Structure 1
Amino acid sequence: MALSAVWLVLAGLLLQPLQAETLPETVERVEGSVLGIATFQPTRSPRIEYLATGFVVDDGRLVVTNRHAVPESLNDDQRERLVVVSGQGRDTVIRNARVVAQSREHDLALLHIASPSLPALELGSSDSVRVGEEVAFTGYPIGMILGLYPATHRATIAAWTPMVIPARSSGELDARRIRALRDDPPMVFQLDGTAYPGNSGSPLYRKHDGKVIGVINQTFVQGGREAAVERPSGITYAIPAEQIRPLIREYHSSGQ
């Protein structure tokens, strides 16, 4: 009888679901994969100009960010280069980066960084995300002012909605693209959560396991850039993580 009772207890333990991580535990793990996207120019002051946030995926040497945050060209004469910055505060490491795949339609860019590999985040399924679900995102808001200190914000999935992706220049808004955005706009997550300049490219993830379900893309602003800081709307948009996978496949198939 005693032996049967022991087996019943063990069976009960095996049937219990694995305990989910708390948000602080998830954030601690995610932060090591979140990077600053910047340009570095040795003759400039400051030498580093922060552009956005990015995060590590795949083999630890690929970084996802927003395409609109990556400069179209660099000043080769002044030895300007695209870099990612890891670490916090003054304890940072700069690595060279290059764009290896991008999607104008979904405002995503995939960067390849120098060795060694960094901890990568796992991509989750955007299709299983439900309206009303609580999520989180981690990034570097207002990076040039606050410095490289990752900040985490909670958010709620408010809607699944069509969204116009920002163009880097008016030249990108040709007739074909305008027609595509009007007739078949990409679908994105609308969040009830506040993002700031610098949060572009931040990973949007589930609080209990840290799996990435989206990429912070933009925030609704009434007014100029200053209004995004002084009078944030609390309406933020994120590109579904499903759109990252084609870029990773494109990179691996290209043999770069």
Structure 2
Amino acid sequence: MQTIATIKPSIVGIGTFLQLRSPAISFVGTGFVVGDGLSVVTNAHVIPGVIDDEHKETLKVTISRGKSTEYRDATLVALDKLHDLALLKISGPPLPAMKLGDSDSVREGQMLAFTGFPLTIILGFHPVTHKGMVAAITPIATQAPSSRALDVKAIVQLQRNAYDVFQLDGTAYPGGSGSPLYDPETGAVLGVINKVVNATKESAITNPSGITYAIPANFVRDLMAGK
């Protein structure tokens, strides 16, 4: 499909580089290029909570160019933990950018595609594409850390922070977090893959549930606009 060939140069890996580590690159998730060609969108949970500055660990994006791989420095410029989104700025010349669509137009039953790096370095630095139907558009809220924290105020806050996400019947694997969810005909980004439902971490590979969630792309637009 021509759309896949067009968007692949916009797909990047997200990780950190530490010279003393083996391997030096710790590959965590996926991102995609938007806007000026130097802006990269991924999940907030993909960004490491702590960078080892003392040992010169740095945030990097990985760009697959056929048989070769390019690494670029990345800087975190915006973070939206509520919607699990992050915006990075990368060094070097601009890359082809994906266009954001209107996620309010998505309907249940619609077929969408997502491209990323499932199983990360195990499959190599080559973007892989999957497809899935929008099985449901359902509200979600950030959970409290424990049941003890669920007082009346916390419950009201949960309800206030609830927002709709896309539930897909396609399987996303570890490393696919941050992949763009897009219209396979136009390539317009309509969401960002952020998690898959599994009983255990091990079953994510051996017995995947086939239930994946994505954040609507309109929240990406808000993040880029500084809202």
How far does residue 115 in structure 1 lie from its aligned partner after superposition?
Answer: 1.9
- 1:59 maps onto 2:36 in alignment: yes
1:148 and 1:166, CA in 2 relative to 1: closer, same or farther beyond 3 A?
farther
Spell out, residue by residue over 1:154-208, the C-alpha distance to the aligned partner (whole angstroms, 9 max, x if none): 11011110124589x99xx898776533454121000010000001000000010
How far does residue 250 in structure 1 lie from its aligned partner after superposition?
Answer: 1.8
Aligned match of 1:16: none
How far does residue 72 in structure 1 lie from its aligned partner after superposition?
Answer: 1.4
Aligned match of 1:207: 184
Aligned match of 1:92: 69
Spell out, residue by residue over 1:88-143, the C-alpha distance to the aligned partner (whole angstroms, 9 max, x if none): 57511111001101111100000000021100000001111111011100000011
- How far apart in 2 are the matches of 1:228 and 1:181? 28
The 3-state SS of whatever aligns with 2:225 is helix
- 1:105 maps onto 2:82 in alignment: yes
What amino acid maps onto 2:225 in structure 1? R
Aligned match of 2:171: 194
Between structures 1 and 2, the one with greater helix share? 1
Aligned match of 1:235: 211
Aligned length: 224
How far does residue 145 in structure 1 lie from its aligned partner after superposition?
Answer: 1.3
1:37–1:85 CA contact under 8 A, matched in 2: yes
- How far apart in 2 are the matches of 1:177 and 1:48? 39
- 1:181 maps onto 2:158 in alignment: yes
What amino acid maps onto 1:248 in structure 2? M
Where structure 2 has 5 or more consecutive residues not aligned to the other structure, the ranges are none
Aligned match of 2:21: 44
- How far apart in 2 are the matches of 1:83 and 1:136? 25
How far does residue 87 in structure 1 lie from its aligned partner after superposition?
Answer: 1.1
Give the RMSD, CA atoms, in angstroms: 2.1
Structure 1 residue ranges (4+ consecutive) displaced by more than 6 angstroms after TM superposition: 173-178
- How far apart in 1 are the matches of 2:72 and 2:175? 19
What amino acid maps onto 1:208 in structure 2? E
- How far apart in 1 are the matches of 2:150 and 2:183? 36
The 3-state SS of whatever aligns with 1:181 is helix
1:220–1:236 CA contact under 8 A, matched in 2: yes
1:112 and 1:92, CA in 2 relative to 1: closer, same or farther beyond 3 A?
same
- How far apart in 2 are the matches of 1:45 and 1:89? 24
- 1:226 maps onto 2:221 in alignment: no
Aligned match of 1:71: 48
1:177 and 1:145, CA in 2 relative to 1: closer, same or farther beyond 3 A?
farther
Could you tell me the TM-score, scaled by structure 2's length?
0.92
1:74 and 1:177, CA in 2 relative to 1: closer, same or farther beyond 3 A?
farther
1:166 and 1:198, CA in 2 relative to 1: closer, same or farther beyond 3 A?
farther
2:141–2:161 CA contact under 8 A, matched in 1: no
- The one of 207, 217, 222 equivalent to 1:246 is 222
Identity, in percent, stands at 48
2:117–2:127 CA contact under 8 A, matched in 1: yes
Aligned match of 2:115: 138
Could you tell me the TM-score, scaled by structure 1's length?
0.82
- How far apart in 1 are the matches of 2:161 and 2:80? 16
